[in-house]
Structure formats: C-alpha cells, structure tokens
C-alpha cells in the first residue's frame, strides 16, 4: 500500500507543479471535510514528515509552516 500511496502523492504533487490541476482541486476551497477525512489527511501529513526525515534528513521550514497552516485552517489539532 505504501507504494500506491507514494505514487498517488507524487502524481498529485507533479500535477500541481506542472499546473495541471484537476477540476476536483478547484472546488476544495468550499468543501468541508468530515472527521474521517481529516483524520486520514492528518495521517498523510505526518507520514510525509516521517518519510522526509528518513529520506532527506529533515522537513523544510516552508513545508513545516504549510503543514501547520493546513492543520490550523481545518481545525485538526484535536483529531
């Protein structure tokens, strides 16, 4: 499953970097995540941090700030 998750994350990130943003991303500004969705997103964010630390030695300060802002914006601190 880890390989499939890596492929999904890398593919989505590559799409965003290349400006090929699918329509589903356009409506995210107005979407509300339920508890299970927030829980999965929080796990994915922490998985990213763990993976970055294991493979690159650290998470950039910019990424740390972005992750913190996502957690704050989605009220995910207590999940």
Percentage of the residues of the chain whose pLDDT score is greater than 90: 14
Please tell me whether residues 43 and 54 are part of one structural domain.
yes
Mean local confidence (pLDDT), 62-75: 88
Please tell me whether residues 26 and 42 are part of one structural domain.
no
CA–CA–CA angle 8, 79, 5 (5° rounding): 10
Show the domain range for 37.
Answer: 32-79
What is Dmax (Cα atoms) for the chain?
35
Please tell me whether residues 25 and 6 are part of one structural domain.
yes
How many domains are contained in the chain? 2
**Helices (runs of H) and strands (runs of E) counted in the chain:** 4, 0
pTM of the model: 0.53
Give residues with Cβ within 8 angstroms of 35, minimum separation 6.
79
Please tell me whether residues 23 and 39 are part of one structural domain.
no
Give the model confidence (pLDDT) of 7-29 as tens digits.
666 666 555 556 555 555 555 55
Please tell me whether residues 58 and 73 are part of one structural domain.
yes
Q: Is the pLDDT of residue 31 over 90?
A: no
């Amino acid at each position: 499953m880890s390989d499939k998750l890596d492929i999904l994350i890398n593919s989505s990130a590559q799409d965003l970097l290349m400006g090929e943003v699918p329509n589903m991303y356009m409506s995210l500004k107005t979407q509300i995540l339920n508890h299970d969705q927030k829980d999965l997103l929080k796990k994915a964010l922490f998985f990213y941090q763990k993976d970055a630390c294991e493979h690159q030695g650290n998470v950039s300060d910019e990424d740390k700030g972005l992750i913190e802002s996502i957690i704050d914006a989605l009220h995910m601190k207590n999940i």
